[in-house]
Structures are given as structure tokens and as C-alpha cells.
């Protein structure tokens, strides 16, 4: 059997939009792991919000790509924390923050730090952080080295927010706009795909033997990179266009259908 590198988004793919993991998906993931394939969680979530997903799937070894490629972990139950960081990509967010504040004056901001902790303005918290963010001033954010910058606006639609971000023309970073007025910013060139390509090399898997499944705009590069890129049924048109095929909706366990095809 040829070992495949199976790369799975979390929200909207492994779990539904309420964060629930459905049993058919859990069982399908276990079957693929037991068949000997490399199953890698690839998510925009931080490590603190991704590790519980791995545990709920029964995955305790292998790798995870978190923070949209900014952090790669090697899982090992013999280690004190159960993992070690094998790759970490940071950037200086000062110029991006300055540009965003001018165009999005009502937005909230959070930074993921290299140690996995978060700092934020205006009591900004989100389940994807995995930890409680410490409140700081905008000026303190400006001087902080980050793995990921998260921007959220409550006074703009996703479309308006997207236009404002496009209008800024952010340079020197990689960014993606989410389902809502939500922006993820990482170091230049850093995406889920960049993290997975580094892993593919380490694991000696051919590009043709890579499979990726996702539903968000931050999955586009990953779906284009994979030998077989699969968009979830509820994915936006631009995400579907980046994929080789489309599976069922997350509520219909679309990921399980893809995983069963590997067995």
C-alpha cells in the first residue's frame, strides 16, 4: 500500500460549524490512521484549540499544522506536553496594524505569540485561540512579534470587510478573509500549503499521494497544492474552484465519504 498524506481542515470539515465532531467522521479518520496513512490536521486554529481535536480523534502521534502554517507540531505522548514545535514562522505586524487601523477603525485585533498565548484589544476572544487572550493596548500590539494576526469587525459585512482589506493591498504578509468579517494574517508566503509541503518532504510522500479536504478561503492554497484537493459541499465558489472535486456538506459527513475512498 502507498502511504498517503491526508491533510484535514478542522472547522467545517472535521467538525461542524457548532464545533461538533460527528461519529461517522471520527470513525472514518480512525480507519484511515489504522490503515497506515499520514493524517495531518491543517487548521487556522492555534495549537491550544487544535490539540483537543486531535485527542477527540484519538490521534496522539504524527504532525499537525496550526495557525494557517505558522506552527507545525510533532505529536509524541512521551513528551511532557505531548508535542514539540518543529517549525515556527513569525513576523512583525507593526506596518500591517497601522494600515488596518486607518481603514477599519472599529475592528478588534488579536496576536498569537510564538509560545501559543494571545494578546488582544477590546476583550477580543475566540474559540480558535484555545486560550484566553490577555488584554493590551493597540500600541503594545504594534511592538509584538507574532505568529498570526487576527482582525474581526462587527460593523462591516464580510463583503465590505473584504473590499476594505483588498483596498489596503497588504504587502510582506499572507492573508485570507474568512466566512465573516474576519481576517487572518501570517508571515509572507506562509499558508497551510507551505507547512504541508515542508512535511511532505520530511515524510517522503509524492505530491500525487497527497489529499487535502477543506471549506474555507484559507484552504485554497492547500487544495491547489494537493494531488487530490477536495472542497466541502458548503464551500464558497472560489474554494470549490480551487479543488479537484467537491464532497458532501459537513452536516452530511462529507469528509467521511472522502476518507472511505482511501480505504
Q: Where are the chain's structural domains? A: 5-88+190-260, 94-187
For the sheet containing 134-135, what is the strand order? 134-135, 118-120, 108-112, 148-152, 182-187, 173-177
Q: Coil, strand, or helix at residue 164? A: helix
The pLDDT value recorded for residue 169 is 81
pLDDT-based confidence at residue 160 (cuts at 50, 70, 90): confident
Least confident of 139-153, 160-174, 216-230, 237-251: 160-174
Closest by alpha carbon to 8, among 48, 78, 62, 82?
62
The answer to whether 5-88+190-260 and 94-187 have equal CATH topology is no
The pLDDT value recorded for residue 32 is 98
- 260 alpha carbon, distance to own chain's centre: 23
pLDDT-based confidence at residue 158 (cuts at 50, 70, 90): confident
The pLDDT value recorded for residue 237 is 95
**Element (DSSP H or E) covering residue 31:** helix 23-34
pLDDT digits (tens, 9 = 90+) for 108-147: 999 999 999 999 998 889 989 999 999 999 999 999 999 9
The pLDDT value recorded for residue 1 is 78
Q: How far apart are CA 248 and CA 51, in angstroms?
A: 26
Q: Coil, strand, or helix at residue 220? A: helix
pLDDT digits (tens, 9 = 90+) for 181-210: 889 999 999 999 999 999 999 999 999 999
Domain 94-187 = CATH 3.30.1240.10: yes
Superfamily name with CATH number, domain 5-88+190-260: HAD superfamily/HAD-like (3.40.50.1000)
Least confident of 15-19, 52-56, 104-108, 182-186: 104-108
**Helix, strand and coil in the chain, % to nearest 5:** 35, 25, 40
Closest by alpha carbon to 9, among 128, 186, 183, 175?
128
Mean pLDDT over 152-163 rounds to: 80
Q: How far apart are CA 34 and CA 56, in angstroms?
A: 15
Amino acid at each position: 500500500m502507498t502511504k498517503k498524506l491526508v491533510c484535514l481542515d478542522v472547522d467545517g470539515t472535521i467538525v461542524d460549524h457548532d464545533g461538533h465532531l460527528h461519529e461517522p467522521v471520527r470513525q472514518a479518520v480512525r480507519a484511515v490512521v489504522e490503515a497506515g496513512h499520514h493524517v495531518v490536521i491543517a487548521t487556522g486554529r492555534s495549537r491550544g484549540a487544535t490539540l483537543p481535536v486531535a485527542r477527540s480523534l484519538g490521534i496522539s502521534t504524527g504532525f499537525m499544522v496550526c495557525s494557517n502554517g505558522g506552527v507545525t507540531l510533532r505529536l509524541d505522548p512521551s513528551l511532557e506536553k505531548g508535542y514539540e514545535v518543529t517549525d515556527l514562522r513569525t513576523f512583525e505586524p507593526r506596518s500591517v496594524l497601522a494600515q488596518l487601523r486607518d481603514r477599519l477603525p472599529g475592528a478588534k485585533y488579536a496576536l498569537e505569540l510564538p509560545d501559543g498565548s494571545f494578546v488582544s484589544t477590546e476583550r477580543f476572544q475566540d474559540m480558535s485561540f484555545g486560550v484566553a487572550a490577555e488584554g493590551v493596548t493597540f500600541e503594545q500590539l504594534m511592538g509584538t512579534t507574532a505568529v498570526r494576526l487576527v482582525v474581526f469587525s462587527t460593523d462591516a459585512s464580510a463583503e465590505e470587510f473584504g473590499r476594505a482589506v483588498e483596498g489596503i493591498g497588504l504587502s510582506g504578509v499572507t492573508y485570507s478573509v474568512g466566512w465573516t468579517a474576519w481576517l487572518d494574517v501570517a508571515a509572507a508566503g506562509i499558508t497551510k500549503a507551505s507547512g504541508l509541503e515542508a512535511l511532505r518532504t520530511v515524510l517522503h510522500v509524492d505530491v500525487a499521494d497527497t489529499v487535502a479536504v477543506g471549506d474555507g478561503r484559507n484552504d485554497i492554497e492547500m487544495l491547489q497544492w494537493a494531488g487530490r484537493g477536495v472542497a466541502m459541499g458548503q464551500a464558497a465558489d472560489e474554494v470549490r474552484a480551487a479543488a479537484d472535486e467537491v464532497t458532501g456538506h459537513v452536516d452530511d459527513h462529507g469528509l467521511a465519504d472522502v476518507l472511505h475512498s482511501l480505504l
